[in-house]
Amino acid sequence: MEIVKVTNLKKLYGEFPAVNEISFSIEQGEVFGFLGPNGAGKTSTIKMMIGLSRPTSGQIMIDGIDAIKDIKKVQKFIGIVPDENNLYAEMNGFDNLCFCASLYGIGKAKREKRAMELLEQFNLTKAAKYPFKTYSKGMKRKLTIAAGIIHNPKILFLDEPTTGIDVESARQIRELILNLKKQGKTIFITTHYIEEAERICDRIAFIVEGEIVKIGKVTEVLRDAEREHKIKLQLSSSIKNIKEELENNFINCKVKLLDENSCLFISKEPIALFPILQLLDNTGISVYEAKELKPSLEEVFVKITNINPKTKNEQEKVGK
């Protein structure tokens, strides 16, 4: 069942189209990833969906409610974790959560109980009485996520949840997101970490320069990008001397030497492994491991957009 439906959504800043007539839908209980480089239109899209920005045109329906006309109704059952931590620096963790719960009309006893539960779930009980400003980046992020789900929302919007935090905190946050998914929450997540989307999303959309260039299930998007089949072999010795022979025998395959004891078979057709193993065995080379290599989302992203995220990030860092 579709719980979010965005149709021809557009946002112009002056003449500049930050988001250009995008359409997509999200199923109930799904984790939907919105991927793209910085400035692609991810945050502009999420801001329109949660009511922090007015679309130039288009329609946003959330759980059957027009989110542009009736955003206050929608805000009752959505949780929002913005890209920047927006809790109160002077207030402690517990008070911050209680205050956020009060904004949803939750009574004192209930909100205090819920705050304690979340602090425990997010491993922040010990820090509950410390001011938010004294928290580490990872702790701040976790508390901001806790604040986003304090009212037990149906749909959670997460804008760059793991950006700028340490590896361990990022891992914990990913686990938390997966737990929320298990609880049946619908999650809309924007990220520019492709590996993150690969791990936690059911479906993804790539947005570049305000337009969705690819959308689908993670597996489908990967399959579409699999224009080549790759098998990596770990061998007992080098095949340098028989590389030509292998390519002559398997005319659809290209053989690439990786190092002394490993090589890669690349083909546009599915690769039959047994004849290769047999030939290698006949030449006295044992195969210790054969592994089919799937393209990563990063490779797919590069293929689709012609943008290398790593290079782009590095360029941005230099620019800063």
106 counts as binding other proteins under rule CB under 8 A:
yes
- Between the CA of residue 261 and those of 162, 207, 232, 240, what are the distances in Å? 37, 40, 11, 10
88 counts as binding other proteins under rule CB under 8 A:
yes
Residue number with CB closer to other proteins (61 or 266): 61
134 counts as binding other proteins under rule CB under 8 A:
no
Stretch that binds other proteins, among 23-31, 81-89, 207-215, 275-283 (CB under 8 A): 81-89
Question: Which of 2, 38, 54, 129 is in the footprint of other proteins by CB under 8 A?
Answer: 54
41 counts as binding other proteins under rule CB under 8 A:
no
Question: Which of 36, 41, 82, 295 is in the footprint of other proteins by CB under 8 A?
Answer: 82
268 counts as binding other proteins under rule CB under 8 A:
no
Give residue for tokens 């298990």. Answer: 182
15 counts as binding other proteins under rule CB under 8 A:
no
Residue number with CB closer to other proteins (20 or 75): 75
Question: Which of 103, 257, 258, 272 is in the footprint of other proteins by CB under 8 A?
Answer: 103
Residues with Cβ within 8 Å of residue 317, at least 6 apart in sequence? none
Per-residue H/E/C for the chain: CEEEEEEEEEEEECCEEEEEEEEEEEECCCEEEEECCCCCCHHHHHHHHHCCCCCCEEEEEECCEECCCCHHHHHCCEEEECCCCCCCCCCEHHHHHHHHHHCCCCCHHHHHHHHHHHHHHCCCHHHCCCEHHHCCHHHHHHHHHHHHCCCCCCEEEEECCCCCCCHHHHHHHHHHHHHHHHCCCEEEEEECCHHHHHHHCCEEEEEECCEEEEEEEHHHHHHHHCCCEEEEEEECCCCHHHHHHHHHHCCCEEEEEEECCEEEEEECCCCCHHHHHHHHHHCCCCEEEEEEECCCHHHHHHHHHCCCHHHHHHHHHHHC
Question: Which of 2, 8, 52, 303 is in the footprint of other proteins by CB under 8 A?
Answer: 52
Stretch that binds other proteins, among 50-58, 225-233, 290-298, 306-314 (CB under 8 A): 50-58
- Min. distance of Cβ 93 from other proteins in angstroms? 14
- Min. distance of Cβ 18 from other proteins in angstroms? 11
14 counts as binding other proteins under rule CB under 8 A:
no
216 counts as binding other proteins under rule CB under 8 A:
no
| Other beta carbons less than 10 A from residue 303's beta carbon | 13
Taking the CA atoms of residue 192, residue 197, residue 202 and residue 203 in that order, the dihedral angle to the nearest 10 degrees is 30
Question: Which of 20, 43, 45, 75 is in the footprint of other proteins by CB under 8 A?
Answer: 75
Residues 61/73, Cβ–Cβ less than 8 Å? no
Stretch that binds other proteins, among 75-83, 210-218, 228-236, 284-292 (CB under 8 A): 75-83
Residue number with CB closer to other proteins (186 or 305): 186
- Min. distance of Cβ 164 from other proteins in angstroms? 15
**Which residues ranging from 142 to 181 are in contact with other proteins (CB under 8 A)?**
147
205 counts as binding other proteins under rule CB under 8 A:
no
Stretch that binds other proteins, among 32-40, 105-113, 121-129, 180-188 (CB under 8 A): 105-113
137 counts as binding other proteins under rule CB under 8 A:
no
Q: How many angstroms separate the CA atoms of 251 and 316, rounded?
A: 44
257 counts as binding other proteins under rule CB under 8 A:
no
Residues that bind other proteins (CB under 8 A): 50-54, 72-73, 75-76, 80, 82, 84-91, 99-100, 102-107, 147
